[in-house]
Amino acid sequence: MLTVTITSFSFIHGSKPKDENGNGGGFIFDCRALPNPGRYDEYRALSGKDTPVVKFLEKEAEVEVFLASVFNLVTQSVKKYQERNFENLMVNFGCTGGQHRSVYCAERLNEFLKKNFKINSKLIHLREKVWG
């Protein structure tokens, strides 16, 4: 069965994900162009898993457009990987601090994939020890 590893990370804190499967990596989506809740005091100590941040990002139309594109690209790969009996796919989301936007997007993709495909998923937030 295909395992999709979904990771959130920080571009500035050097926490880029490593491919433990020897396949050379996978998708890296840059979330820095999305509205940043981390710029507002009330969201700074929170993460993309916290309800106020989720609501902030859900209100932003460009976040939904970004995620729709991500879902389409990843869907294409998941289908092909399953047809070819591949075992691993990596999907990584980076933002400035690895706390808000990348975490939110990783969580959303994980929900989408689990709902639409028979896969194993591993969700990893590389900066979670900082804010979790």
pTM (2 d.p.): 0.95
pLDDT in tens, 39-89: 999 999 999 999 999 999 999 999 999 999 999 999 999 999 999 999 999
Q: Which residues of 47-72 are buried (b: 16+ CB within 10 A; e: fewer)?
A: bbbbeebbebbeeeeebeebbeebee
Mean pLDDT of 99-105: 98
- Strand 27-30 to 3-10 pairing: unpaired
How confident is the model at residue 132, as a pLDDT?
A: 65
pLDDT band with cut points at 50, 70 and 90 for residue 20:
confident
Query: Which runs of consecutive H residues, i.e. helices, occur in the chain?
Result: 51-58, 61-83, 101-116, 128-131
